[in-house]
Amino acid sequence: MNYKIPLVLAPQPEDGYTVTSPLLPELVTEGDSLDEALANVKDALAAVVELYHDLGRSLPQDAQINDPSAPVWFETVVTAP
């Protein structure tokens, strides 16, 4: 299943980033770089999906992409020279 999740990347004073989601407060991860932090989101989301399943809760409807052939709008961080 594909999901569209809003993410907040917060820079940490000791370097690296913490990633949270206002839609899924249980989603928390981090990384030493933007790339690592974003890569860790997949594992964090899998853990949240499992947690919701175990608790008998549904993910918010806004999070699920029901038509994988439909366009998805998202924002990302890109570093350019």
pLDDT of residue 62: 82
Q: Is position 62 within any domain?
A: no
Q: Is position 69 within any domain?
A: no
Domain total of the chain: 1
Q: Is position 53 within any domain?
A: yes
Q: Is position 23 within any domain?
A: yes
Structural domain containing residue 16:
8-57
pLDDT of residue 47: 97
For the ranges 14-18, 40-44, 75-79, which has the lowest average pLDDT? Answer: 75-79
Q: Is position 32 within any domain?
A: yes
Q: Is position 26 within any domain?
A: yes
User: Three-state SS string across 59-81, please?
Assistant: CCHHHECCCCCCCCCCCCCCCCC
Mean pLDDT of 30-40: 94
pLDDT of residue 71: 87
- Residue 56, pLDDT > 90, answer yes
Q: What percent of the chain has pLDDT over 70?
A: 100
CA 19 – CA 11 distance, rounded (Å) = 9
Q: Is position 77 within any domain?
A: no
**What average pLDDT does the structure give for the chain?**
91
